[in-house]
Amino acid sequence: MANILCIGAGFVGGPTMAVIAKHCPEHRVVAVDINAAKIAAWQSDHLPIYEPGLKEIVLSARGKNLFFSTEIERHIAEADIIFVSVNTPTKTFGQGTGKAADLQYWEKTARQIVESSSSSKIVVEKSTLPVRTAEAMERILNSNEKGLFFDVVSNPEFLAEGTAVQDMQNPSRVLIGGRQTPSGQKAVQAIVDIYAHWVPRERIITTNLWSSELSKLAANAFLAQRVSSINAIANLCERTGADVTEVAHAVGTDTRIGPRFLRASVGFGGSCFKKDILNLVYLCEFYGLNEVAAYWEQVVRMNEYQQASFVSKMVTAMFNTVAGKRVAIFGAAFKAHTSDTRESPALAVCRKLLEERAHVVITDPYALESARADLHDVAEQVIFEPDPYAAARDAHAIAVATEWPQFAELDYAAIYETMVHPAFIFDGRNILDHKALYDIGFNVYAVGKPPLTHFESSNPAS
Ligand code: NAD
Ligand code: UGA
């Protein structure tokens, strides 16, 4: 039996510990956090985050071998293995501002581990970190005067929100990096043994520390680059009459490229892509690789362009003004099946529409609370409406910003009747049946497709 601790019970710490507890009944798993409200929520029936399947797993293990607590010192003292999954946001001050990772929470945790420990432990980097952070971690941990030795292992997390439980239960791979010393390799093996409870051994990749740390940033950069690449092509489709879904299919059937992660959209969001690519950019700059930095930075710039051009398309289509017009934004979450609104393109669209003085109503099945908090500075100008039918009533336009499947199943004929005409739909996720909407009477604008409008205008598809 091992005592496994996770410091940071957020989107990653909570679900990963729940899945480890489920598959390793002989181990005692504890997740701690400085946020007492979050811990109270993990202990209640209203978990702090929405993830499909998460509640069932938490309820099945909680109180048996899974615990949530705010008693950080005590649990550090008792732990054999400590996963650290605190947030590592982009720095908003000082050197590297706007790009480098803010490692203050991370460093605080390292110092706290030293302070509260009276035995040697394995410390696992779960957070996404710049390459070579483990070196700093080792220095802080091992410059103690208690004669303790800490092995630092890198085990970056690849789960995506909305599919966190599924991704943890059946991961494409688990990556574990460690020092090539006997002690380092023993520590790596201890982490391999945890995952081997449910992950086939051939999917557990072991590497050196730096490869593991860098692979996490690289994986996110490659994924985000695909979205920015297809969005770049979507813009060209809109000018030329090509249809981005057809192009994505034609390109993606080349098995070397593959069909996944080629959905054109209003842009990518989420807490990680932007922050991790900017972190990579900063690292490249640090090493004097300015052209390499510029290459990756363009992935983020393309995404900003995509969000801005979506709103600009709305304004242009709606006779060059949305001032005073009610606009319903369908979706607040950065993607479907999550309550997370961090860096959500929906909120970027909302803010830009407010700048254009539109009357914005936003609807989402799970993320309205989080949207209200993120939009606190403009919240009095926004209506938060859980019912999409009520949100669309009296609106001039609907903008689909999140790919919730339920938005595709609404009765758009009924919605059309309650809207101001001419009525517009801007499908920023290409999830609706555009031809059916056009037949109802809507003017339909999708991403990377020729618009379907009832106005007489030159249509590049024709
Ligand atoms: P989060 O903000 O949801 O959770 C981090 C938690 O750490 C917060 O609850 C915070 O209160 C807590 N915390 C901060 N300092 C602490 C301290 N000193 N002691 C105890 N708790 C502390 O963040 P997240 O989304 O879970 O991300 C965590 C890390 O994992 C980040 O580095 C992120 O890049 C990475 N990651 C995230 C995802 C994802 O999908 N969200 C996926 C893979 C990797
Ligand atoms: C992403 C990665 O997919 C995870 O592997 C990684 O662990 C995680 O970042 C992280 O490091 O935090 P996540 O941000 O949760 O996961 O969600 P994704 O499914 O990657 O979606 C990111 C954004 O891209 C969303 O806004 C999504 O709607 C958008 N997207 C995705 C597209 O616009 N088109 C696509 O084809 C795919």
Query: Could you report the average pLDDT of every consecutive run of 10 residues in the chain (462 residues)?
Result: 97 98 98 98 96 97 98 98 96 95 94 97 97 95 95 98 96 98 98 98 98 98 98 97 98 97 98 97 98 98 98 98 98 96 98 98 97 97 98 98 98 98 98 98 98 79 52
Q: What pLDDT does residue 458 have?
A: 52
pLDDT of residue 85: 97
Task: Kindly give the number of the ligand 1 atom that is closest to the alpha carbon of 161.
Answer: 40
Is the C-beta atom of 51 inside 6 A of ligand 2? no
Ligand 1 atom index nearest CA of 164: 40
Structure tokens at 183: 């002690």
Ligand 2 centroid from CA 270, angstroms: 7
Question: Is the CB of 330 within 6 Å of ligand 2?
Answer: no
**Rounded CA separation 210/188 (Å):** 14
Could you tell me which residues come within 8 angstroms of residue 292 by beta carbon, excluding any fewer than 6 positions away?
Answer: 284
Q: Would you say the CB of residue 109 lies under 6 angstroms from ligand 1?
A: yes
Does the CB atom of residue 318 touch ligand 1 within 6 A?
no
Element holding 443 (H helix, E strand)? strand 443-446
Alpha-carbon gap, residue 42 to 57, rounded angstroms: 12
Q: Which of 33, 107, 370 to mutate to test the pocket of ligand 1 (most atoms within 8 A of CB)?
A: 33
* 272 carries an active-site annotation: yes
**Residue 334 Cβ < 6 Å to ligand 2:** yes
Ligand 1: residue of 19, 75, 155, 272 to mutate (most ligand atoms within 8 A of CB) is 272
The confidence score (pLDDT) of residue 457 equals 64
Q: Is 130 in the pocket of ligand 1 (CB under 6 A)?
A: no
**Long-range contacts, stretch 374-383, CB < 8 angstroms, 24+ apart:** 374/341, 374/342, 374/344, 374/347, 375/347, 375/350, 375/351, 378/351, 378/354, 381/354, 382/350, 382/354, 383/359
- H/E element, 384: strand 382-384
- Name the pTM for this structure: 0.96
Judged by its nearest atom, the ligand closest to the C-alpha of residue 218 is 2
Sole residue written with tokens 């008792």: 78
CB 30 within 8 A of CB 3: yes
Ligand 1 atom at minimal distance to the Cα of residue 156: 44
